[in-house]
């Protein structure tokens, strides 16, 4: 096992690292010698970078779904239905910041670690302690999928199986008992996804499955199949 850099290499993990720092620095800022302006600037960096990373992921995932449709239309191997495409529901914009936020964050982290009041407990709370990483056996990985009805929508849950640092996202598919089999639902980094597809008039069984992805490819095995009757 090797020690990681203090800054996560994966974009989504670095975005989440900055958010963790932002959410936990408040109670330690004064003792660590940070000014309110420094705290506010880091918070702005964290919010904007997370917005950009999430927007980028969503656009890429949407493009992949269109690629499936395009290939289906030409080759005819899968159902080619525009209505099966997941919605492109981009996050609300946040104020932009200047380029170079990783450099600014590294400078701030060095200041924090140089403080006489800094310790490993604080570092773990702020997510700025280097950790040991051991790569998982990708061939055996599979998300655990759950589904339940909440407020008239199917809510699909899944987890990272403790390997978030090595995985980019999960690919979810749905089978709505309409003869099309499993079709693309969403590519997501959020562990709870709301299926906004309206319920049919007559009760049917909806089924869901998922598989992890790294870069542009699937890794591991398809998950268990979680099912629910809709309308309930």
Whether 65 and 184 have beta carbons less than 8 Å apart is answered as: yes
Higher-pLDDT residue of 191, 21: 21
Is there a contact between 109 and 6 (Cβ–Cβ < 8 Å)?
yes
Q: What is the pLDDT of residue 194?
A: 92
Q: What is the pLDDT of residue 43?
A: 97
Domains and CATH numbers, the chain: 2-133 (no CATH), 138-230 (2.60.40.10)
> What is the side-by-side strand order in the sheet with 153-157?
146-150, 153-157, 192-195
> Using an 8 Å Cβ cutoff, are 183 and 175 in contact?
yes
Structure tokens at 80: 């080619």
What average pLDDT score do residues 56-64 get? 85
**94 or 67, higher pLDDT:** 94
> Quick one: pLDDT at residue 149?
95
pLDDT at 46: 97
User: CB–CB of 31/126 below 8 Å?
Assistant: no
Helices (H) and strands (E) in the chain, counts: 4, 10
Q: How much is the pLDDT for 1?
A: 38
Question: What's the rounded Cα separation, in Å, for the pair 35 and 217?
Answer: 44
Cis peptide before 10 (omega within 30 of 0): no
CA 147/CA 173 separation, integer angstroms: 12
Q: Residues 6 or more apart from 101 whose CB is under 8 A from it?
A: 18, 45, 48, 49
pLDDT computed for residue 92 by the predictor: 86
Residue labelled with tokens 């709370």: 125
Give the pLDDT band of residue 145 (cuts 50, 70, 90): very high
pLDDT of residue 142: 95
Cα separation, 174 vs 181, in Å, equals 8
| pLDDT, the chain, mean | 88
In tens, the pLDDT along 111-130 reads 999 999 999 999 999 999 87
pLDDT of residue 64: 81
Question: Number of C-alpha atoms within 13 angstroms, CB side, residue 217?
Answer: 4
Q: How far apart are CA 213 and CA 166, in angstroms?
A: 10
Poorest-pLDDT segment among 81-95, 135-149, 196-210: 81-95
pLDDT value of position 131: 64
């Amino acid at each position: 096992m090797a020690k990681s850099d203090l800054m996560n290499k994966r974009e989504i993990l670095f975005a989440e690292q900055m958010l963790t720092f932002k959410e936990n620095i408040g109670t330690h800022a004064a003792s660590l010698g940070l000014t309110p302006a420094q705290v506010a600037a880091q918070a702005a960096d964290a919010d904007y970078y997370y917005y950009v990373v999430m927007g980028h992921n969503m656009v890429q995932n949407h493009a992949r779904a269109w690629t499936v449709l395009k290939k289906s239309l030409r080759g005819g191997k899968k159902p080619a239905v525009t209505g099966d495409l997941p919605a492109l529901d981009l996050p609300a914009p946040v104020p932009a910041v200047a380029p170079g936020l990783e450099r600014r964050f590294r400078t701030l982290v060095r200041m924090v670690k140089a403080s006489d009041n800094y310790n490993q407990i604080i570092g773990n709370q702020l997510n700025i302690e280097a950790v040991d990483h051991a790569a998982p056996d990708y061939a055996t990985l599979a998300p655990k999928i759950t589904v339940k009805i909440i407020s008239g929508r199917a809510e699909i849950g899944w987890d990272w199986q403790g390997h978030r640092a090595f995985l980019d996202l999960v690919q979810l598919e749905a089978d709505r008992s309409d003869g099309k089999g499993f079709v693309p639902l969403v590519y997501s980094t959020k562990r709870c996804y709301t299926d906004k597809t309206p319920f049919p008039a007559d009760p049917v069984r909806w089924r869901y499955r998922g598989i992890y992805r790294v870069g542009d490819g699937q890794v591991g095995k398809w998950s268990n199949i979680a099912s629910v009757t809709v309308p309930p």
